[in-house]
Chain A
Amino acid sequence: MRFVFSRYNLNKKEKFVQRVFEIMPGAVSWSIILGMFILSFLHPLTAAIIIISFDFYWIIRLFYMTLFLSLSYYRLSIEAKTDWMIRIKGLKDIRTYIEDVKNSSKPERFKRRFSRFLHCRELKSLISSKIDIPNLDEIYHLVIIPVVKETRDIVEPGIKSIGEGLFPSGRIIIVFALEQRAPAPVKQGIRGIQDKYKNNFFDVLIVEHKDGVPGEYRVKGANATNAAKYAASYLKSKGIAFENVISSCFDSDTVINPGYFACLTYHFLICPFRHRASFQPIPVYHNNIWDVPGFARVLEAGSSFFQLIEATNPESLVTFSSHSMSFKALVEVGYWPVDMISDDSAIFWKSYIYYDGDYRVVPMYTTVSMDIVAADSWWKTIVNEYKQKRRWAWGVENIPIVMRGFIKNKKISSYHKMRLSFKLFEGHVAWATWAFLLTIIGWLPTLFAGSRYHETVLYYSVPRITGAIFNLSSFSLIICIILSIRLLPKNRSSRSILKKIRLAIQWLTIPFIAFFLSAIPALDAQSRLMFGRRMEFWVADKKRNAG
Chain B
Amino acid sequence: MLILRKIVFYILAITYIISCPLLIFYALGYIFVPKAENSIVKTGNISIATLPQGASIYMNGKLFKEKTPAVITELLPDRYSLKIEMTDYVPWTSIIPVDRGKAVAIEKLLLIPTEWKKDVLIGESFKNLVPLQGTCYFVFGKTSFLRDYAIYDCVHDKKYPLINPGSNFGDYKVLKYFSIEKSTAFIIQAEKYDEKKLLWFDITGDSVDFKDITYFFKEIPSFIKWDTDDKHTLFALINDVIDRVDLESGEVYPKYLSDIRGYGILDRIVYAVISDSSFISADYEKKDINILLNGGSSGSEIYGDTGAYDVMPYSKNIILFIGEKGDVIANHLPYYFVDRGVIGTEFDRFGRRILLWKKDGLGILDFSKERMGDVTFEVSPQLKWIFTGGKDISQAFWMYDGSHVLFRDENSIFLADLQPYGEPTPVFLFNVRKGSSVSYNESDGKISFLDPGSGNLVSVFIVPGHGLIKIPSADNKIIGNEKK
Contact = CB atoms under 8 A, between A and B. Distances in A.
A64 B105 contact: no
Interface in B60-97: 71, 73
A320 to B, nearest CB: 18
Interface in A312-327: 312-315
B27 A457 contact: yes
Nearest to A67: B8
A446 B103 contact: no
Given A63-B12, A312-B5, A458 B28 contact: yes
Interface string A70-97: 0110010000000000000000000000
Contacts of A449: 471
B102 A313 contact: no
Contacts of B24: 49, 52-53
Contacts of A71: 1, 4
A68 B19 contact: no
B375 interface: no
Given A447-B469, A460-B45, A463-B472, A315 B2 contact: yes
A446 B471 CA distance: 6
A460 B47 contact: yes
A125 to B, nearest CB: 14
A75 B474 contact: no
Contact of A457 (B23, B28, B471): B28
Contacts of A455: 102-105
A517 to B, nearest CB: 26
Contact of A443 (B1, B28, B471): B471
Contacts of B472: 446, 459-460, 462-464
B20 interface: yes
B38 to A, nearest CB: 21
A410 to B, nearest CB: 27
A465 interface: yes
B249 interface: no
A348 to B, nearest CB: 18
> Which of the four size classes fits the interface of chain A?
35 or more
B71 A464 contact: yes
B150 interface: no
A90 B2 CA distance: 27
A461 interface: yes
B160 interface: no
Interface string A50-62: 0011001100110
A500 interface: no
Given A313-B5, A456-B101, A64 B12 contact: yes
A312 B28 CA distance: 38
Interface string A283-322: 0000000000000000000000000000011110000000
A457 B104 CA distance: 9
A467 B471 contact: no
A468 interface: yes
B105 A52 contact: no
A366 interface: no
B57 to A, nearest CB: 15
A457 B102 contact: yes
B15 interface: yes
A57 B20 contact: yes
B336 interface: no
Contacts of B73: 457, 460
B295 interface: no
A463 B473 contact: yes
B323 interface: no
Contacts of A459: 103, 472
A514 B29 CA distance: 33
Interface string B418-429: 000000000000
Interface in B1-37: 1-2, 4-5, 8-9, 12, 15-16, 19-20, 23-24, 26-29
A461 B474 contact: no
A448 B462 CA distance: 28
Given A313-B5, A460-B47, A466 B474 contact: yes
A56 B44 CA distance: 23
Interface in B427-484: 469, 471-476, 478
Given A52-B23, A455-B105, A458-B27, A312 B474 contact: no
A466 B474 CA distance: 8
A120 to B, nearest CB: 17
* Most B CB within 10 A of own CB, among A314, A449, A454: A454
Given A52-B23, A457-B27, 5 more contacts: A52-B27, A57-B16, A72-B1, A447-B471, A460-B45
Interface of A: 48-49, 52-53, 56-57, 60-61, 63-64, 67-68, 71-72, 75, 312-315, 443, 446-447, 449, 454-468, 470
22 contacts: A48-B27, A49-B27, A53-B20, A53-B24, A56-B19, A60-B16, A68-B1, A68-B5, A71-B4, A449-B471, A455-B105, A456-B102, A457-B43, A457-B103, A458-B27, A460-B47, A460-B73, A461-B29, A463-B472, A465-B23, A467-B473, A467-B474
- In the A-B complex, the 3 residue pairs with the closest CB atoms: A467-B474, A457-B29, A461-B27
